[in-house]
Structure 1
Amino acid sequence: MYYDVYKTWRKEVESRDLQELPPNFYERVILYIRELEEKCERLEDPTMVKLLEEEKRNVKNMLKQLIIKRASKVIGFVFEGVEIDYKKLTELDRSIFKVVESILRPKKGEKGEVIENVKESEKSLEGPPHESDEGVLVLVRFIRDVPEITGIDLREYGPFKKGDVGTLPLANAKLLMKRGFVELIESKRNPSK
């Protein structure tokens, strides 16, 4: 089962498209994690317990990353207006899709209003910008460890260790600065925008 989880996780992470999951995938993985926990409780050999706990930790991490990656793709597809192959959606994906679609996709007669309202709300939270934030990357120093994140531009950034220097979209950098994870070094225009 470990290899199945790894193979599924790797395919999802390496592809821009949403991958079709094997039937009952999440249920089977959760059952597998429970089995590992039960084995750990029964075993008396500390080395075997350590190995099984490490395996359990790895499976949980892959499952978490898989769920986050799929949610990120679904949100990105809704935001971009990309058609989604519903056969590839799990129940969890469908729930995320419905919520995000109801927020981001305008209803008839509201063309663009919903997305504009979301953008305005984000700007008011960040404070008044002096120039357009779109396409602005900032150079930051990481004050604390930060796991891999999906930027507002839907690109992957990180993971970063304390003391690392890297670039992030301005909106993401502002949020991380407010929370004490980074300090600003400088900003530059994103040449791909």
Structure 2
Amino acid sequence: MSETNQIDINYLHHTVLRETEDESLLEIDPNFYRNLSDFIGNLKKQEFDGVESKIKDTMIEMATELTSLLINVRLEKISKSKDLEIGFLLDEEKFILDSQEEENDRKEMILSATINGKSKFLESLSQNHKTKKIAVRFLQEVDEIVGADLEKYGPFKIEDIATIPYENAQALIAKNAATKVRLED
């Protein structure tokens, strides 16, 4: 997409409309989601008062809903397609599909280990998952904890970021004491 053909709300609407009206996956500019992200991000940065602010907020809401619809429609087409044109997949969609393949592989691994009596393998998987480290940002002060890996972590202050075992992180997240740090954070 050239500089003269930037994404705006009309272009986004037209793209979603074309995608929903056609049964096959449409070819879209490889930078579509990045350009769309720039459009929405720039819109959010603009400051207006009164009616102009309401219009901006409505445009952001429309762009958000259209983006969600586009992603869902394209992923639905991809999942149902027998003769998928792989070249039409955008990198972001490939990223989503990769996680689905990983999920299917994991299901097969658990099923196979279970029906083939490999309880030690399942125990090992379970322990590795509990102690796998993830990054969290603390939303509350937390005293020192003993991790699932039996190591000591903390104490932590609000806004501290730490890498702790998954099981401990999940417990803290459930209590709203921490939040998972994602790539975009």
The TM-score with structure 1 as length reference comes to 0.46
Q: Which of the two has greater helix per residue?
A: 2
The TM-score with structure 2 as length reference comes to 0.48
